[in-house]
A and B are shown apart, each in its own frame.
Chain A
Amino acid sequence: MIEYIPFIAVVAMILIGLYAVMFRRNLIKIVIGISIIESGVNLFLIILGYRDGGVAPIFTSLPPGTKYPEEMVLPVPQALTLTSIVIGVAVLALMLSLVMHIYRKYGTLDVQKIRRLKE
């Protein structure tokens, strides 16, 4: 059980984010919800690549006596997470600038009132 706690944290984060997107009415909170989902997925990728007692896969001044590859964490998930974080920043910037404009046009941030496009 104890070794699955990080995975439970991942699921909890994804579900909290999904809850915010589904049931919160404020646009900013929806944006925050998407950010939380993204953090959860990033955490998921990172914990997939962890090896017990591993060090970062960097050879500069590596502690002497470290056996590699057995004592290094996996590098690929870290690279994927890096990509994913930058994607998250880009999405966040675009979403927040849209929210700024929507607030000026609609005068509200309530998602139930921002629905001129329906039916």
Chain B
Amino acid sequence: MTFLEALLQHSPALVIATPLLSAFLLPLVGRINAKVRDVFALVMLGVTCCFVGLLASDVLSHGPRVYIFGAQNLNVPLVRILFEVDSMGIFMAIITVMLAVIAVIYSWSFLRREDGLDKYYTLLLLVVTSALGMELTGDIFNFFVFLEISCIASCALIAFWVAEGEALEAAFKYIVISSVGALFILFAIGIFYAQYNALNIATLAHLLQFTFLDKFALVILLVSLGMKAGLAPMHMWLPDTYGRAPPSIVLIIMSATLASFYGILRVVFTFYGNVLTTSLRFSLPAHVVIGWILIALAIVSILIGVIMALVQTDLLRLIGYVAVAEIGYMFLAIGASVASLGAPYATVALHGGILHIFNDAVDIGLLFLVAGAIYYVTKKRSLDDISGLARTMKFTTIFFMIGLLAVAGMPPLNGFTSKFLIYESVYQLNPILSIIALLGSILLLAIFVKVLYAAFLGSELPALKGVTEAPKSMLLAMGFLAGFAIFIGLFPNLLLDTLVKPAASALLDHAQYISMVVGGL
């Protein structure tokens, strides 16, 4: 066995262990020198990226990979924790590490004058670890543990600007919401354990009967994870949090939020994959009911998100509401895909939904970084106080326009590619849904035209005379995301064929996920 093969064999563990070890080491490294600490955080994330890339290349070509902690082989009752990495998990892991690297690069300049940065980088690495763990794990209690890590570490990061009361308020709201949600998830795990005496996702999915208790647990899991993902009407924490956390942190919290969204995908498609086609009362198949529940909540999210964003004056909070609407688009695609399971357009909807996860991360992330750059140079949050920034901040303006058009789903940027797939497939399920989705996009364009006019165009305010362009590392981070937005907009098939289609087939093929573990016994 060569070194590379050994590395590949252990890479699922190393993907988690590397950022975790570096988070533990960082307080000690931070005592040496601030510069060393910054470089250390970036280098360790780079190493994690390498492991994720190695794992991705293997998983995409050879199918899912199972890693058992503490034993060489699977043995009869699955007592040990195991990681099961399939194309969907690795797709999310790629998004997570991408956002993390960009956030670290951005933080270099953005938080240069702050103190408490070694704690900041420690917690950042912990959130990244937890998101990766949620995405790769094959054990439901382990999922809960990682969910709690992300909850606690992100809560502390939201309160980073302790001098502002609002940041503390947002952090308190976040931790109340997420700990209540997480406790309900633990209750659902207890129900599974009581019925089947197993904690492994594949084993549970194999044994699941869809009894009343299973339905009960499904509702708890859907609602709790939906709240963590920012689904309306449980989305209120999201604008509060996104609006008050440092914008570099928002990228990291967003990766945790998307990991919760991934949790819903896993629950619906893999966990309940065997029983989705069971008939309930009135000969309604279960997947239709679940799908339409998700669609209804998604429509509410889109409408509330855009309508509330239209009247916001705080730029960061406005983008927070837009993020709610974008989450709604993902849920719309997933709901349509579940509701029409088996139809040819269900796969298209799923492709659209999964591609939209990536596009949402890129576009909303770009907008937050731009808003953070504006806050960095002007120290003002309200759109009423800023004007005419395009004269001094040329690059930022260009990046903002790219983000604006991408979020609003204007061709040829990346937002359009996924929304195109969503509109086309949802139209075949029900044309009204498609119309609402389009209306949401139009309102999104209106919102950002308002921001463009208020912040960047117009005359220069006397209070903003000394404004200069944002520092280089911030521009670099924004440039990366803008480059992604353009590139994926021009060559959508590149991403669709290499990552999204395998991810969608991995989700739909729950039998393979189960047989990787259960069949190996």
User: Are B169 and A21 touching (Cβ within 8 A)?
Assistant: no
> Which of B169, B190, B311 is in CB contact (< 8 Å) with A114?
B169
Known interface pairs A41-B183, A77-B193, A94-B155. Does A116 touch B175 (Cβ–Cβ under 8 Å)? Answer: no
Q: Restricting to A11-62, which residues have a CB under 8 Å from any CB of B?
A: 14, 18, 21, 27, 30, 34, 37-38, 41, 44-45, 48
In the complex, A102 Cα to B176 Cα: how many Å?
14
Does A87 touch B at the CB level, under 8 Å?
yes
Q: Evaluate whether A95 and B165 lie within 8 angstroms (CB atoms) in the complex, with A38-B183, A41-B186, A117-B244 already known.
A: no
Interchain CA distance A101-B170 in the complex, whole Å: 12
Query: Is B159's CB under 8 angstroms from A98's CB?
Result: yes
**A108 CA to B308 CA, complexed, in Å:** 29
State which size class the interface on B falls in: 35 or more
> Per-position contact with B for A86-99: 1 when CB-CB < 8 Å, else 0?
01001100110011
Note all chain A residues with C-beta closer than 8 A to B159. Answer: 98, 101
B194 touches A (CB below 8 Å): yes
**B-contact 0/1 string along A67-90, CB 8 Å cutoff:** 000000000110010011001001
User: Contacts A48-B190, A91-B152 given: A37-B183 contact, CB under 8 Å?
Assistant: yes
Q: For the complex, what is the distance from the CA of A30 to the CA of B176, rounded to whole Å? A: 8
Q: How far is the CA of A94 from the CA of B153 in the complex (A)?
A: 10
Bound complex: CA A91 to CA B149 (Å): 10
Contact of A95 among B166, B176, B186, B193 (CB under 8 A): B176
B243 touches A98 (CB 8 A): no
In the complex the two chains form, is B180's CB within 8 Å of A21's CB? yes
Q: Which residues of chain A have C-beta atoms less than 8 A from B173's C-beta?
A: 117
10 intermolecular pairs with C-beta atoms under 8 Å apart: A34-B179, A38-B183, A45-B186, A83-B141, A98-B155, A101-B162, A101-B168, A116-B165, A119-B308, A119-B311
15 more CB-based (< 8 A) A-B contacts, given A95-B179, A99-B172: A18-B180, A41-B187, A48-B190, A83-B141, A83-B145, A98-B155, A98-B159, A101-B168, A102-B165, A102-B168, A116-B165, A117-B240, A117-B243, A117-B244, A117-B317
